[in-house]
Amino acid sequence: MSKYSMLGQLIAHPGKRDELAGLMLESAETLQGMEGCIFYIINESVDEPDVLWITELWETEEAHAASLKNEGVLAVIQRCRPLIAGVKPVKLRPLGGKGM
């Protein structure tokens, strides 16, 4: 089964990036014990003040899909929603490398 990679920009409403990052870091806490999540990292853009980049790697696409049904994750998504002005996902296929 091939691994599943997610990459995406979250664009916060002006001035709301830090608050959004805080909530996303809480969501990462929920993922700590979640099976199939290899990494899930919240980054802030250096050049774009309202932009976060989320980089994720999962054992399978199914593991990622299952995480989106987790109650803790859903609760965080609900709380993030009012802070988010836009989302730009980048569809990737992970090929290999260190840490996979």
Query: What is the smallest separation between the CB atom of 22 and its own copies, expressed in angstroms?
Result: 9
Q: Which strand (E) or helix (H) includes residue 8?
A: strand 4-12
Q: Which strand (E) or helix (H) includes residue 51?
A: strand 51-58
By CB under 8 A, name the binding residues for its own copies. Answer: 5, 7, 21, 24-25, 28, 31-32, 37-47, 53, 55, 57, 90-100
Query: What is the smallest separation between the CB atom of 60 and its own copies, expressed in angstroms?
Result: 16
d(CA 92, CA 54): 13
Which C-beta is closer to its own copies: that of 14 or that of 96?
Answer: 96
Residue 21 dihedral angles phi and psi, to the nearest 5° = -60, -40
Residue found under tokens 């840490």: 99
Query: What is the smallest separation between the CB atom of 98 and its own copies, expressed in angstroms?
Result: 4
Which C-beta is closer to its own copies: that of 11 or that of 57?
Answer: 57
d(CA 58, CA 20): 23
Which C-beta is closer to its own copies: that of 45 or that of 60?
Answer: 45
